């Protein structure tokens, strides 16, 4: 007789080990080592891929990026740091929230305290929006006095700047038409007050602090980065992304810009997948 018991729904990230409410880890099945593969081979996969998701990202959407990385680099461990709205609104709590990621990275790179590394990087970092930017910035703090090992960074729709329009769009994401009609005027007022407070120094500009940290050579031992962005992004202004890229170049970082057409915020991979993941592969292979 067939059972009428409900079938348990598989969670999109059930294949990952939960280390904390916002940190998860995927360990691939053990595979025999290939002695013919050298570290200097561009095809050598990352030892670790760190994904810092956008604020409020649903697991089903995050899983699409993780499963793609599993396809590209099946032997790589994948470390995920989520960005819930609750902690993003309390920036001082983010370093403690991301701290469970620290022992994982240290275990993968036990010699990261040895200083600069002349060998090719073995860490790939992929961050999304200002939520991902905040997580990576907090990770710099959580690692102190050490520095993350040499790495490649993918900036998807990030980093932005504190603006009224972007703040309003951030708070109204997912709102229905009715909710937007009712709440948007109040959110505009709130955003205007906050941005005014930032402009006169009464309110700390967390977004600017996060962005500046990525261009700080004392904190960031990065060997190459790519910015993936578009003019159609309603949350992060493309001019702010390009300004950050220019500042990075002036600080000596190696920069690649990939400006997409017609793609909304953190949707570049969904609408132009081949180009998007082609950039990711090319950035990794160019690391040597």
Domain annotation covers residue 183: no
Domain annotation covers residue 4: no
Residue 38: pLDDT band with limits 50, 70, 90: very low
Q: What is the pTM of this model?
A: 0.88
Domain annotation covers residue 48: yes
**CB neighbours (10 Å) of residue 60?**
10
Q: Quick one: which of 211, 217, 222, 279 has its CA closest to 254?
A: 222
**CB neighbours (10 Å) of residue 209?**
13
Domain annotation covers residue 147: yes
What is the rounded distance in angstroms from the CA atom of residue 198 to the CA atom of residue 279?
A: 35
CA angle 136, 226, 265 (to 5 degrees): 75
Domain annotation covers residue 157: yes
User: Cβ(120)–Cβ(151) under 8 Å?
Assistant: no
Encode pLDDT of 44-61 as tens digits: 999 999 999 999 999 999
The CATH number linked to 214 is 3.40.50.1820
Domain annotation covers residue 63: yes
Q: Quick one: which of 96, 60, 97, 93 has its CA closest to 81?
A: 97
**CB neighbours (10 Å) of residue 118?**
5
> Would you mind telling me the total number of residues written for the chain in this entry?
288
Q: 60: part of which helix (H) or strand (E)?
A: helix 59-72
Residue with tokens 């409900």: 6
Q: How many domains does the chain have?
A: 1
Residue 210: pLDDT band with limits 50, 70, 90: very high
Please tell me the predicted confidence (pLDDT) of residue 183. 63
SS3 287: coil
Encode pLDDT of 269-286 as tens digits: 999 999 999 999 999 999
Cα-Cα end-to-end distance for the chain: 61
Percent of the chain with pLDDT over 70: 79
CA angle 263, 94, 50 (to 5 degrees): 55
Domain annotation covers residue 32: no
Please tell me the predicted confidence (pLDDT) of residue 1. 45
Q: Quick one: which of 183, 155, 158, 156 has its CA closest to 169?
A: 183
250 pLDDT more than 90: yes
User: Cβ(218)–Cβ(140) under 8 Å?
Assistant: no
Contacts of 262 (CB under 8 A, 6+ apart): 230, 232, 271
SS3 195: helix
Domain annotation covers residue 245: yes
Structural domain for 209, as ranges: 17-24+44-110+118-162+205-285
User: Cβ(146)–Cβ(112) under 8 Å?
Assistant: yes
Peptide bond preceding 145 in cis form (omega within 30 of 0): yes
Encode pLDDT of 6-30 as tens digits: 545 678 999 999 999 999 999 998 7
């Amino acid at each position: 007789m067939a059972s009428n018991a409900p079938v348990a729904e598989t969670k999109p990230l059930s294949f990952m080990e939960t280390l904390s409410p916002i940190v998860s880890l995927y360990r691939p099945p053990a595979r025999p080592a290939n002695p013919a593969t050298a570290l200097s081979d561009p095809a050598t996969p990352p030892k670790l891929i760190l994904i810092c998701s956008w604020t409020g990202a649903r697991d089903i959407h995050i899983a699409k990026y993780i499963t793609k990385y599993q396809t590209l680099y099946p032997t790589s461990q994948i470390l995920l740091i989520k960005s819930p709205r609750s902690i993003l609104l309390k920036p001082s709590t983010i370093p403690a929230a991301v701290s469970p990621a620290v022992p994982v990275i240290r275990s993968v790179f036990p010699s990261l305290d040895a200083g600069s590394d002349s060998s090719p990087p073995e860490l790939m970092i992929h961050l999304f929006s200002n939520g991902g930017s905040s997580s990576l910035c907090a990770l710099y703090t959580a690692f102190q006095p050490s520095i993350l090992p040499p790495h490649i960074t993918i900036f998807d729709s990030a980093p932005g700047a504190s603006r009224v329009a972007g703040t309003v769009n951030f708070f109204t994401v997912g709102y229905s038409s009715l909710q937007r009609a009712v709440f948007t005027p109040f959110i505009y007022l709130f955003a205007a007050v906050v941005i005014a407070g930032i402009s006169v120094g009464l309110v700390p500009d967390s977004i600017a602090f996060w962005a500046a940290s990525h261009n700080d050579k004392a904190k960031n031992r990065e060997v190459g980065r790519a910015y993936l962005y578009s003019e159609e992004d309603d949350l992060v202004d493309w001019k702010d992304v390009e300004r950050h890229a220019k500042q990075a170049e002036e600080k000596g970082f190696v920069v690649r810009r990939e400006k997409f057409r017609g793609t909304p915020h953190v949707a570049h991979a969904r609408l132009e997948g081949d180009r998007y993941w082609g950039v990711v592969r090319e950035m990794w292979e160019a690391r040597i």
